Structure 1
Amino acid sequence: MVCGGFVCTKNALSALNILYVLVSLLLIGVAAWGKWFGLVSSFQVVAGVIGVGIFLFLVAFVGLCGALKHHQVLLFFYMIILFTVFVLQFSVSCACLALNKDQQNLLLEAGWNKSEGTQMDVERTLNCCGFSQVNVNGTCPASCFNKPSSCVTCSNILQSYAGQVLQFVGGIGLFFSFTEILGVWLTHRYRNLKDPRANAGAFL
């Protein structure tokens, strides 16, 4: 069977969905590991990552079942969902790559103010206190807070890494968005191919 035929397309689509299953399990595992060892105390962050992992696992499972059984309905819904995810992920990835310094700072401050658990994680990990100023009358889990005058604000440290992180996230997002559009194309092609082992007069 030449590549581009029924079996080749089926195997390529199955392999792509197996990759998505592995990525989803990795997301769930890393989030659970971070929470278990106390690296991330924010429940919202852990729940968000696990939620994305479960969603990706379900989508990949639908695609894998549709590919193995050549099920028209499953393949159709899989193609629609994957295309929607592609549009959203491609848009977010481009936005991450296009943010300037001022927009990055606004984004960081919005994320900082959203969760006290995330604030504590950042302060403890980066050894800094406060976002734009150190509150000597408050509390801070950073080791430098024993001598508050030696502490730096977290915005200075975060801004130095924000550009690199956004570039990395945007690049990874773009990579996976292209695998998603590949999955949409493979699914569309696979749905319109006839199974050579099936009845030649059957409608597929």
Structure 2
Amino acid sequence: MVCGGFTCSKNALCSLNVVYMLVGLLLIGVAAWGKGFGLVSSIHIIGGVIAVGFFLLLIAIVGLVGAIHHHQVMLFFYMVILFIVFLFQFGVSCSCLAMNGGQQEALLNSAWGMLNNKTKMDLESQLDCCGLLNLPESQAQFDQDVAHCTASCKSESCHTCGELMLTHATVALKILGGVGLFFSFTEILGVWLAVRYRNQKDPRANPSAFL
């Protein structure tokens, strides 16, 4: 069977979905590990990562079952949902790559404001810092965070958590954007394979039947 044939398309689509399943399980496992070791205590962060992993796992299972059975309806929903995921991931990845220092600072302020005190204290202890950014417009919040800070550096002179985060934010965003952009194109490959495979005839089926 040539590579462009039915069997090759089926095997390629199955392999791609197995990779998606492993990535989904990895996300769920990392979230559970982070919670188990107390690295992150916010149920919103843990729940968000687990939800993304579970959603990717579910999509991969639908694609895998559809590919194995050459199921027209499952393959149709699989390629539609995967294309929507591609659009969302492509936009987020481009935003990460294009984000400048001012936007990073605004994003950090927004994310920090949504965290509860327990999560802030966990981050401060892990990073050995106190508060986010010592800015005039957020001085009251900064003083409150420093007062509740339990980092070991508090007895000396702590860096702010914002300074440490911004130091590595540019590199992290470039990596995240690049990886996200790469995987978004694998999703386009998955959509293309699903469309191609869906319109091919199963050689083991009735030759006169269009599948």
The one-letter amino acid of 1:125's match is: Q
Once the two structures are superposed, residues 113-163 of structure 1 have per-residue CA deviations (whole angstroms, 9 ceiling, x without a partner) of 11124422321111110112363871112111133xx11111111110110
Write the distance in 2 (CA, Å) between the matches of 1:153 and 1:123. Answer: 9
Candidates 167, 184, 188, aligned match of 2:191: 184
Provide the identity percentage.
60
Q: Which residue of the partner structure matches residue 154 of structure 1?
A: 161
Q: Which residue of the partner structure matches residue 172 of structure 2?
A: 165
Candidates 124, 129, 153, aligned match of 1:144: 153
The one-letter amino acid of 2:124's match is: E
* Alignment pair present for 1:119 and 2:120: yes
Q: Is the 8 A contact 1:128 1:153 kept in 2?
A: yes
TM-score computed with the length of structure 2 as normaliser:
0.93
How many correspondences in the alignment?
Answer: 202
Q: Which residue of the partner structure matches residue 55 of structure 1?
A: 55
Write the distance in 1 (CA, Å) between the matches of 2:122 and 2:165. Answer: 13
1:18, CA displacement in angstroms?
0.3
The one-letter amino acid of 1:140's match is: C
Q: Is the 8 A contact 1:112 1:118 kept in 2?
A: no
Write the distance in 2 (CA, Å) between the matches of 1:76 and 1:15. Answer: 18
Superposition RMSD in Å: 1.2
* Alignment pair present for 1:199 and 2:206: yes
1:5, CA displacement in angstroms?
0.4
Once the two structures are superposed, residues 57-96 of structure 1 have per-residue CA deviations (whole angstroms, 9 ceiling, x without a partner) of 1000000000000000000000000000000000000000
1:56, CA displacement in angstroms?
0.4
TM-score computed with the length of structure 1 as normaliser:
0.96
Write the distance in 1 (CA, Å) between the matches of 2:150 and 2:64. Answer: 46
* Alignment pair present for 1:22 and 2:22: yes
Unaligned stretches of 5+ residues in structure 1:
none
Q: Is the 8 A contact 1:79 1:188 kept in 2?
A: yes
